[in-house]
Amino acid sequence: MKHSALPCSLVSSLLVLSACTQGIRYSTPGTAPEPEISAENFPKMDGSTSAEPILAQIACTFLDVPCQWVEWLGGDRRLAPELTNYSEDFPNFGASGTHQAYMNLIEGRADLILVAREPSQDELRLSAGVGKGLDIQPVALDAFVFIVNEDNPVSGLSTPQIQEIYTGRLTNWQSLGGIDAEIHPFQRDENSGSQELMRKLVMGNLRMVDAPDLILLSMFAPFYAVSDDPYGISYSVFYYEENMAPQDERVKLVAVDGVMPDQDSIRQRKYPYTTDVYAVLRSDLPKDSLAHQLRDWLLSSEGQVLIEESGYVPRY
């Protein structure tokens, strides 16, 4: 989308309707009534791993059951409905991961997804191939963050330093104020939410170092890898690190360009890699569908309260 001379990455936060990329429509936030959602008509939802707590909070709020944090497979934590006193069949919802959630939406297996990034070029091509546009709207704030081992004396990095690490030009921690040891720059897999954010926000057109042995295939994997490797560095999103990552991790966040990621720096957009969490629909979904009503409601003041209850920073 082009609006005056602003870049696409900035325009998605404005109240504009045109599309930055063919096949995407950005909707205008506003007021919306609370949809009448029950177990019988619960919308088909999916999302990023890090956005699953929003899905859980939606289910708990509309079906009037408590939510609780539980340990999940892999050792990370998830917000889940507490169903001890719930007698009906509880609707199925889950987080397939960012790329798979987009695929499920495009192919009709989901009607609403909550995801940590905008669609990738691969996903846009898939959407165009089946003639399905995407209606996308930011609903919450998060941040793209970097983690190192807790024993690493380095506490902050600049964007150029991160770029040099991940292009292979900077290879020793000593040049960053650390010990004399080789840097192990762990990456995520292609089309994962974290990898797409890394390319979009940090690397741009820079080619990342070819390191197949350092590619990690899940959200929790960077935390275990860096926890076990005193010379490792990797990346994730703030919400996952703060709320969902394995509790026995031995990692710490680092400041970027002099700003530590926290709730305040994210809320005030001072942290340089503050990001959005998006609610995405297929553009052909009827406006009176429950999924469409729910997405519009999430943009309202009441919906933003739900976002905050899930632990995210509200967008509006």
Which homologous superfamily does the CATH classification assign to the domain defined by 8-141+275-314?
Periplasmic binding protein-like II (3.40.190.10)
| 290-298 helix and 301-309 helix, angle to the nearest 10 degrees | 80
pLDDT at position 106 is: 97
Residues of 220-258 as b/e, b for ≥16 C-beta within 10 angstroms?
A: bbbbbbbbebbbbbbbbbbbbbbbbbbeebebbbbbbee
- What are the Cα distances from residue 175, in Å, to 180, 187, 230, 271? 8, 21, 16, 24
> Which helix (H) or strand (E) is 134 found in, with range?
strand 134-149
| Contact (CB, 8 A) for 113 and 47 | yes
pLDDT in tens, 260-304: 999 999 999 999 999 999 999 999 999 999 999 999 999 999 999
Has residue 9 got a pLDDT over 70? no
Distance CA 234, CA 104 (A): 28
pLDDT at position 28 is: 57
pLDDT in tens, 173-229: 999 999 999 999 999 999 999 999 999 999 999 999 999 999 999 999 999 999 999
Topology of the domain comprising 143-267: D-Maltodextrin-Binding Protein; domain 2 (3.40.190)
pLDDT at position 276 is: 98
pLDDT in tens, 115-126: 999 999 999 999
Distance CA 277, CA 116 (A): 5
Nearest Cα residue to 221 out of 211, 235, 231, 210: 235
DSSP state of 92: P
Handedness of CA 188, 240, 58, 85 (dihedral sign): positive
pLDDT at position 25 is: 61
pLDDT at position 23 is: 61
Distance CA 79, CA 88 (A): 20
> Which helix (H) or strand (E) is 122 found in, with range?
helix 121-129
Average pLDDT, rounded, for the chain: 90
Count CB atoms within 10 A of the CB of residue 310: 25
Q: Which of 3-12, 104-113, 184-193, 274-283 has the lowest mean pLDDT?
A: 3-12
| Contact (CB, 8 A) for 29 and 137 | yes
- Quote the radius of gyration of the chain (alpha carbons, Å): 20
Question: What global pTM score does this model have?
Answer: 0.88
Percent of the chain with pLDDT over 70: 91
Range 206-211 contact pairs with CB under 8 angstroms and sequence separation of 24 or more: 206/163, 206/166, 206/167, 207/167, 208/166, 208/167, 209/166, 209/167, 209/168, 209/185, 211/185, 211/187
pLDDT in tens, 19-59: 334 466 665 566 789 999 999 999 999 999 999 999 999 99
Q: Do 8-141+275-314 and 143-267 share a fold?
A: yes
pLDDT in tens, 54-99: 999 999 999 999 999 999 877 889 999 999 988 888 998 889 999 9
User: Per-domain residue ranges for the chain?
Assistant: 8-141+275-314, 143-267
CA atoms within 13 A on the CB side of 29: 20
User: 64 phi and psi, to 5 degrees?
Assistant: 55, 50
- Residue 253 backbone class (left: φ over 0; alpha: ψ -120 to 50; beta: rest): beta
